[in-house]
Amino acid sequence: MGMSASKAINASRLDGKTVIITGCNTGIGKVTAQTLYGIGAKVIMACRDVEKAESTATEIRQHPVADPEKPHGEVLVKKLDLASFKSIRECAQEINQSESSIHMLINNAGVMMCPKDQTEDGFELQFGTNHLGHFLFTLLLLPKIIKSAPAKIINLSSLAHERGVINFDDVNGEKTYSSIKQYQQSKLANVLFTKELAERLEGKNVNVYAVHPGIVKTELGRYMDDTYFTGARFLARIVFGWWMKTPEQGAQTTLYCALDETAAKETGLYYSDCKVAKSAPLTHDKELSKKLWTESLKWTKLEDYDPFSA
């Protein structure tokens, strides 16, 4: 059992609510989907590997985390490759057309410390997937989320954001590439995005959260052997094993933000172990968050788009 494994205790139901979760065919995303489906939500699994996601969806239907005396929700799969703006736009368009409401968006997907690579649109893979992919996806869905209020947007970040720096002059790490620094940059961007989005959504009844799930035994670290050396992932599990959480434990802070009555009154904050936590000093730099927002609009070609018009 990992250290500091708080548990989200809540009796809420999500009957009639639509929840979108990115990258949830394994790990904490799967547990999140399983739990919310079990309490009545319509869960849309937005995943890159549709075949694996369909298999997970079948498993979720067969083994929901739920009270057997109460009805389950619905679970379905949509194709979403966060490393492709084209795929993101297609998925968002499909969801906007098929769904009358979106009550919760959980930006759960991510890549960590992968070998140097690019997205389809030429961005460094971790920054392009973890930040820009979710930035674009969120803003394309935002008008419908606003119309569905009260609503929530939950962004999975990491403690790694504390060592992150947004290098606007070399955001893709082309001059000096470091896998861990690029990951840290993307996770800082997640928290800055959360705070800036929360500020811009003031008065819209849409709450935004940044979550550190803990050090979790998931597929997120699957690239470590390729990036460093064969056995690096195994070694990391030995060294950090005492602090590692199971996916069930790692999902608890996401579930806390999704369901807790106290969290429902909060927005723009950073959470760890089912409570508000202190984020890095850079995350409180409003000029930095505004600059990242402006540059992200340019990078995703959304300069002329107004997502707050709902």
| Cα–Cα distance, 254 to 4 (Å, whole number) | 15
Q: Find, among 163, 265, 166, 156, the residue nearest to 207 by Cα.
A: 265
pLDDT digits (tens, 9 = 90+) for 236-253: 455 455 567 799 999 999
Residue 38 has pLDDT above 80, yes or no: yes
Residue 2 has pLDDT above 60, yes or no: no
pLDDT digits (tens, 9 = 90+) for 113-125: 888 999 999 999 9
Q: Find, among 222, 185, 197, the residue nearest to 23 by Cα.
A: 222
pLDDT digits (tens, 9 = 90+) for 250-306: 999 999 999 999 999 999 999 999 999 999 999 999 999 999 999 999 999 999 999
First CA to last CA distance, the chain: 45
CB atoms near residue 47 (< 10 Å): 29
Residue 310 has pLDDT above 90, yes or no: no
Could you tell me where the beta strands, DSSP code E, fall in the chain? 18-22, 42-47, 74-79, 104-107, 151-156, 206-212, 269-272, 275-277
One of 3.40.50.300, 3.40.50.280, 3.30.360.10, 3.40.50.720 is the CATH number of 18-219+246-299, namely 3.40.50.720
Residues classed as catalytic: 183
Residue 135 has pLDDT above 50, yes or no: yes
Pairing of strands 269-272, 42-47: unpaired
Q: Find, among 208, 74, 98, the residue nearest to 151 by Cα.
A: 208
Question: Quick one: pLDDT at residue 64?
Answer: 82
Lowest mean pLDDT among 56-60, 195-199, 202-206, 242-246: 242-246
In 30-44, which positions are buried (b, 16+ CB within 10 angstroms) versus exposed (e)?
Answer: bbbbbbbbbbbbbbb
